[in-house]
Amino acid sequence: METIKDIAKACGVGVSTVSRAINNHPDINPETKQMILDVIKEHNYIPNNSARNLKRTKSKSVAVLIKGISNPFFSRMIEIIEYETQQKKYTFVLQRVEENEDELSVALQLAKEKKLKGIIFLGGMITHSEEKIRQLDVPFVLSTSGYIAGKDMDGKWNGNAGWSFVTVDDYGESYKIVNYLCSLGHKKIAILAADIEDDSIGKLRYEGYKQALRDNGIEPCGDLECHMDERVDNYSMRTGYRLMNKLLSREKDFTAVYAIADSLAIGACRAIIENNKKIPEDYSVAGFDGLEAGEFYNPSITTIRQPVEKIAKETVGLLFQLMQKEGGNRQIILPGELIIRESVKEI
Amino acid sequence: METIKDIAKACGVGVSTVSRAINNHPDINPETKQMILDVIKEHNYIPNNSARNLKRTKSKSVAVLIKGISNPFFSRMIEIIEYETQQKKYTFVLQRVEENEDELSVALQLAKEKKLKGIIFLGGMITHSEEKIRQLDVPFVLSTSGYIAGKDMDGKWNGNAGWSFVTVDDYGESYKIVNYLCSLGHKKIAILAADIEDDSIGKLRYEGYKQALRDNGIEPCGDLECHMDERVDNYSMRTGYRLMNKLLSREKDFTAVYAIADSLAIGACRAIIENNKKIPEDYSVAGFDGLEAGEFYNPSITTIRQPVEKIAKETVGLLFQLMQKEGGNRQIILPGELIIRESVKEI
DNA sequence: TTGTATGCGTTATCAG
DNA sequence: CTGATAACGCATACAA
């Protein structure tokens, strides 16, 4: 294994000079620097990152910890976050964390190893003790999650989370689209929801649905609710398909279905079509998220679009404010956008 | 910052004993070990990974380098690779690499930093000099790529790649589905393809298409080919939508379209539908990949399914054989599966 | 502008 | 079973 010493020897200079060449330090003769760089290239020398991290005191890097990397929603977010981060001349570390892994522990460890300046959490970060969160002495922002942590059970914002986050108002936007369905004359609105025990966005969207119904004088009916199985289902098209078939087999009357995610909505559509029913003639279908797949589906899916670009930008902006101590924790709640397409009709 | 020294002091033992406790070494008194572990937990001590990597000689870890993380196809692969790796008691490192980044350089660096035992490349690894590849002294396997490197321009396998890979036969499977379209009586078959300059799977699938046509006595016609714009388009639904509209505007006659990816096929379907044409009555549409989105689309998309699970398992299996020197480089070419669904009709 | 020496936090070696 | 100490490869303070 080649080390900086070997290079120094090969160049006939000291190790620190090589180090200076590598790290673009100013106080070095341009000629020696070029010579060293040439030798390095010739030897295919690669500095050992562990040693660098160990020695370095500071660093200009932030990390994104992402739970549920398969979420297509996150792909675009990452792109933007990465771009914005690089604009600010910071290095960007992407770290995926298992569904059953503790993202906070991973964050703690990574912060130490990479001497991080800041962290962004994408997904997850729902259930953590204040105490453990406090161990994280690096500025961090929760993106598209964390809202729940500041919400009371009935969905009302209690306004005192001790940390920063950026998210859409899942409860409010869910309310909005269900209310929209009601305004179109729908009275029997089914829902494809997360499992009952869910305490994340699934719960928020579910609560928004129920409240919208009540405010429209409709009492939520358990027979029109179809929940995922805990630890079996996920937010996939297949799940939507399964849930919809289950709902249809109950032979209950309804005119619209609200799926709490576009992926579920698409699976639901397929189930409806295979049952020889038409969308939206027989059933209206509404989703949530604003995925590309919903836009190009046949019929295209009426949904709430999450402002991905905006969320990403605000997240990075907030994180850097925190890092530069330009203000304390803030909670940014962005509006979604009701996108009216083909899958819902007036009744 | 707390170090192993602080823990040793707090426990009244030497640092090496603490190290033993952390690393599950056998030669340590179970009681002291438990005591140390307790103190560690109490202090929230986290060992510095950089220091560990620096000092450690061996390691039991493999990495997956993935180019194009948004590819939904890769999500499932990663899941399986990770599972299989953990079965073998190895640690798994996922490293994403930018589209414009050099995955080989990243691999070289990571191998050094993390003392990797093996590497899996997902996507990318198309254009690299033999010389640079040889620098990588760690066993590696190319998954769902690399085939091209052993192919001649006309798609024939030249059989002497100096490295291992696992993939489907993009050329052959592409040939298969186009041939299937021909067998159904289609004579004018359009294609939605990658940009002309593409030298990856895009080229292979394109060549398979042309050869299938010729073998069915049909001369490929440029007017029925619609290529992506280099560096602008990607394998998204939106691209498929754009290309299909472009193709339709040419007002050329055709009865079937073959999109070289399911995502493109779905966008194409949407474009056709918006032009008030029916699938498959007016146009048959075929895809490639076997994405969930194609299965649940309306109409469901006839396609070639890549055996994701199998690819992933064979990849890991091959890598570990290489690592354990149980054989030299091998090239595994798996068959795809023609899945007949609703988007294609006989003519 | 350059070289030397020290220490980052850990594990491995060796002596007890 | 345990503890002292020498590396690991690099960046940096300091001396030249």
Q: Do B70 and A75 touch (CB under 8 A)?
A: yes
Greater pLDDT, B346 or A200:
B346
Chain B partners of A294 at a C-beta cutoff of 8 Å? none
Average pLDDT over residues B199-220: 95
Contact list, B138 vs chain A (CB under 8 Å): none
Tokens matching residue A145: 């999650």
Confidence band of B144 (pLDDT split at 50, 70, 90): confident
Q: Is the pLDDT of residue B74 over 60?
A: yes
Mean pLDDT, residues B122-150 taken together: 78
Q: How far is the CA of B54 from the C1' of C12 (A)?
A: 12
Can you give the pTM of this predicted structure? Answer: 0.91
Taking only the tens place, the pLDDT of each residue in A6-52 is: 999 999 999 999 999 999 998 899 999 999 999 999 999 999 999 99
Cβ distance B113 to A50 less than 8 Å, yes or no, reads yes
Q: ω into residue B72 within 30 of 0, thus cis?
A: no
**What does the pLDDT read at residue A57?**
79
pLDDT band at B215 (very low <50, low <70, confident <90, very high): very high
Q: Does residue A160 register a pLDDT over 60?
A: no
Q: Is B48 on the interface with A (CB under 8 A)?
A: yes
Q: Residue B154 — very low, low, confident or very high, per pLDDT cuts 50/70/90?
A: very low
- Percentage, residues of chain B above pLDDT 90: 77
The two tokens of residue B143 are: 């998954």
Report phi then psi at B93, rounded to 5: -115, 125
**Residue A310, CA distances (Å) to A69, A93, A163, A315 in order:** 20, 21, 20, 8
Q: Which nucleotide has the shortest C1'-to-CA distance from B12?
A: D3
- Dump pLDDT digits (tens) for A236-264: 999 999 999 999 999 999 999 999 999 99
Task: Check residue B304 and give its pLDDT.
Answer: 98
From A134, which residue of chain B is nearest by alpha-carbon distance? B44
pLDDT for position B152 = 47
SS3 A167: strand
Which residues does nucleic strand D approach, with CB less than 7 A?
A 1, 3-5, 15-16, 19-20, 22-23, 47-48, 51-52, 54-58; B 12-17, 20, 26-30, 32-33, 51, 54-55
pLDDT for residue B318 is more than 90: yes
What is the reported pLDDT for B231? 80
Q: In this structure, what token pair is assigned to residue A118? A: 């800041």
Q: Whose C1' is closest to the CA of A56: which nucleotide?
A: D11
Whether B238 sits inside 8 A of A296 (CB atoms) is yes
* Residue A106, both tokens: 């991973």
Please answer yes or no on whether B135 and A75 come within 8 Å at the CB atom. no
CA distance A97 to chain B (A): 10
Position B159 pLDDT exceeds 60: no
Nearest CA in chain A to B70: A75
Question: CA A112 → C1' D3, Å?
Answer: 27
Residues 293-312 of chain A whose Cβ lies under 8 A from any Cβ of chain B: 293, 295-300
Q: Is the pLDDT of residue A276 over 80?
A: yes
Give percent of chain B with pLDDT exceeding 70: 95
Within 8 A by CB and 6+ apart from B37, the residues are B21
Residue B126 pLDDT > 90? no
Amino acid symbol at A286: A
Closest-CA residue of B relative to A77 is B70
pLDDT in tens, B26-35: 989 999 999 9
Cβ contacts (< 8 Å) between B70 and chain A: which residues?
72, 75-76, 79
Of all residues in chain A, the percent with pLDDT exceeding 90 is: 75
Average pLDDT value for residue range B215-222: 97
Chain B residue with minimum CA distance to A267: B296
Residues of B in contact with A68 (CB under 8 A): none
CA distance B324 to chain A (A): 21
Most confident of B124-133, B232-241, B250-259: B250-259
Q: Which residue is nearest to nucleotide D13 (CA to C1')?
A: A16
How high is the pLDDT of residue B59? 84
Question: Which residue on chain B is closest to A98 by alpha carbon?
Answer: B79
Task: Return the pLDDT at B147.
Answer: 55
> How far is it, in rounded angstroms, from Cα A63 to Cα A84?
13
Instruction: Give the model confidence (pLDDT) of A188-232 as tens digits.
Output: 999 999 999 888 889 999 999 999 999 999 999 999 999 999 888
The whole-number Å distance from A6's CA to C2's C1' is 17
Of A246, A254, A302, A245, the residue nearest A282 (C-alpha): A254
Beta bridge partners of A304: A338
Which 92-111 residues of chain B touch chain A by CB within 8 A?
A: 94, 96, 108-109
pLDDT value for A154: 47
For A25-36, the pLDDT digits (tens) are 988 999 999 999
CA distance A40 to A108: 35
Model confidence pLDDT, tens digit, residues A98-156: 888 889 999 999 999 899 999 999 987 766 777 788 889 899 999 987 555 544 444 44
pLDDT tier at A234, thresholds 50, 70, 90: confident
